[in-house]
Chains A and B, each alone.
Chain A
Amino acid sequence: MRALFGQLLVGLINGSFYALLSLGLAIIFGLLNVVNFSHGALYMTGAFVAWMGLQSLGVPYWGALLLSPIAVGLLGVVIERTMLRRLYQLDHLYGLLLTFGLTLIIEGLFHHQYGNSGNSYPVPELLQGGSDLGFMFLPRYRAWVVVVSVAVCLASWFVFERTRLGSYLRAGTENPRLLQAFGVNVPRMLTLTYGFGVALAGFAGVMAAPIYQVSPAMGSNLIIVVFAVVVIGGMGSIFGSIVTGLGLGLVEGLTKYLYPPAASTVVFIIMAVVLLVRPAGLFGRQK
């Protein structure tokens, strides 16, 4: 019983990261029509910025939680301004290819500098330890990750669906030209959206640092699963990405308990089933 709940908790943690990352992907895709392959690499960058900050400057976890997303977001702004912007008029696939190339560059650089092995990042003092719930042991940091991820996702959902800024963003998704005619600076909005989307990835990276090993490959392994999550959920709704992300994390945890060898492939099997039954994705609209 304890093993089952332990695996489910691990699944829930993974699911939180799926949700955070697929949320960023959905926001970027919605407005820019770009599938951001470098999302995983930027998540890894976020984790590394936190780790390097602690190693060389002694920046604590709480500082990194703020600084890392800003750094990654700025990097995103530069990427959008200098490169992505030139591809908006072209086929979507060029955006994917460009960000794929960027992924190779970013990962290669970190690989060169820090090698293959993982670096561990200590859990902040305030969140060390945990409590025994009777049926399972709940480390405090893991509870924190789940709660904060869900809170960030819900806050993004609120901003998108209930605020004035969100209405601009949704209008930009529907008809950017009309929005520009109304006097909204759409190009700047696109830049900031990309910056915000990848900042979310950087934030997820900092959250992940104390749980997983900080290594150059941590992002690309994750991003492919997140793509499958996006196919399963459909990029249509923010709420959909959250539910799908958490749900698939739990399914993965359950599989690890029931039949461990299938744990790494179960998401893709679900993807196949969803494509057969509901090709547009669970929350998607067929265009």
Chain B
Amino acid sequence: MSGPARRPWSGQAIFMAWATLVAAGLAAPFVVYPVFLMNVLCMALFASAFNLLLGYTGLLSFGHAAFLGSAGYVAGHAAKAWGVDPLLAILAGTAVATVLGFLIGSLAIRRSGIYFAMITLGFAQMIYFLAVQLPFTGGEDGLQGIPRGRLLGLVRLENSFAMYYLVFVIFLAGFAVIHRTINSPFGHVLRSIKDNEARALSLGYDVDRYKLLAFVISAGLAGTAGATKALAMQFETLTDVHWHKSGEVVLMTLLGGMGTVLGPSVGALIVVTMENYLTGFGDWVTVIIGCVFVAGVLAFRRGFVGEALNLARRFRS
């Protein structure tokens, strides 16, 4: 992608930018419908987790919906059938997605490049078929009326504002994990694998282990996003395990900017907003999303954040 900036941004400017974003996130539910915002935040976390693989490790997973959806089903089932605490339900979903990520990841990293994409797509389709067949998922109907419950037995989450702030905190926590991962020595090794895998290998890094760990972290956080979304939306359906969803997260990341910190969230905001306002157009939504996809691949590969950074860099130098 883009090379490192010649002059780094000052710490103060970065802090101000983050503080503004967090303040905007805190104020948002007073302006915009909270359920819509929760959906955006969950998808933003999903796309950011995905970007850890595509943008920073150079691995295109075409089956990330498997983690989003399976965690959603597990969390939904745990909350609905067993009535567990919402946090525990989200943890359970995350745990299942992490284990699934380890299983699929350890098989998929045996091939690289385009085969990696096909393998992840294949396993995700298998999860989809399982979701159709397994008894607890509700098949075509999915899980409906998932209770949000009381947070730690205290806070009633049926109140959309309370739920929103929980989602916001989870999003920030997930985002912090990703940010920390990217900026750790581990993250630098991931980037070196993306840029030149053979070189990283020759320098003595066990490339497969790094890839697998990145895959597991990404899958786990995608699971957190899915589990949180199931509670926030109060339903879980096959849409979340379908390959359309796996493609959608690629689109979000591409539109926002691969390998940028904020890009996937911007992309998620755009795509979810688009889908929200276009629902009246029925089947045209798919066509429009497809057109955006094609246009993005052909002419807009840096994405919004990538282009903005590029402009800012030119302006500063």
A interface residues with partner B (beta carbon < 8 Å): 29, 35, 83, 86-87, 90, 92-94, 96-98, 100-109, 111-112, 220, 224-225, 227-228, 230-231, 261, 264-265, 267-269, 271-272, 275-276, 279-280
Q: How far is the CA of A264 from the CA of B117 in the complex (A)?
A: 20
10 more contacts with CB within 8 A, not counting A87-B297, A101-B292, A227-B121, are A92-B113, A104-B244, A112-B283, A112-B287, A220-B243, A228-B118, A231-B118, A231-B122, A275-B107, A275-B119
Complex: A239 Cα to B204 Cα, angstroms: 39
Classify chain B: how many residues form its interface, as a range: 35 or more
- A101 is contacted by which of B119, B129, B282, B294 (Cβ under 8 Å)? B294
Neighbour of A103 across the interface among B123, B283, B290, CB < 8 A: B290
User: Is there an interface contact between A104 and B287, defined as CB atoms closer than 8 Å?
Assistant: yes
Chief secondary structure at chain B's binding surface:
helix
Where chain A touches its partner, the secondary structure class is helix
Report the nearest A residue to B123, measured CB to CB. A268
Cβ of A94 and Cβ of B301 under 8 Å apart? yes
Q: Are A228 and B301 in contact (CB under 8 A)?
A: no
B250 in contact (CB, < 8 A): yes
CB contact under 8 A between A265 and B297, given known A96-B117, A101-B291: no
- With known contacts A109-B287, A268-B122, A97–B297 Cβ distance under 8 A: yes
User: In the bound complex, do residue B130 and residue A275 qualify as a contact, i.e. CB atoms below 8 Å apart?
Assistant: no
Contacts A35-B118, A97-B297, A230-B118; A224 near B243 (Cβ below 8 A): yes
In the assembled complex, B165 has its CB within 8 A of some CB on chain A: no
A94–B114 CB distance below 8 A: no
Determine if A105 and B122 form an interchain contact, defined as CB atoms under 8 angstroms apart: no
Q: When the two chains form their complex, are residues A96 and B286 in contact, meaning their CB atoms are under 8 A apart?
A: no
Residues of B within 8 A of A103 (CB): 290
**Which residue of chain A has its CB nearest to the CB of B103?**
A272
CB contacts (< 8 Å) of A276 on chain B: these are: 107, 110
Q: What residues of chain A lie closer than 8 Å to B126, measured between beta carbons?
A: 265, 268-269
B290:A86 contact, CB within 8 angstroms: no
Q: How far is the CA of A228 from the CA of B282 in the complex (A)?
A: 31
What is the chain B residue whose CB lies nearest that of A94? Answer: B297
5 A-B pairs in the complex with CB atoms less than 8 angstroms apart: A35-B117, A96-B62, A101-B296, A104-B287, A109-B287
User: Hey, which chain A residues are within 8 Å of B125, CB to CB?
Assistant: 224-225, 228, 268
State the Cβ distance, A280 to closest chain B Cβ, in Å: 8
A271 to B108, CA, bound (A): 10
> Cα distance A96–B247 when bound, in Å?
11
Residues of B within 8 A of A268 (CB): 122-123, 125-126
**Known contacts A35-B117, A108-B286: A97-B122 contact under CB 8 Å:** no
Residue of A nearest to B115 (CB): A231
Which residues between 192 and 207 of chain B lie within 8 Å of chain A, taking CB atoms? none
A194-B244 Cα distance, complex, nearest whole Å: 25
- Given A96-B60, A275-B107, A111–B286 Cβ distance below 8 Å? yes
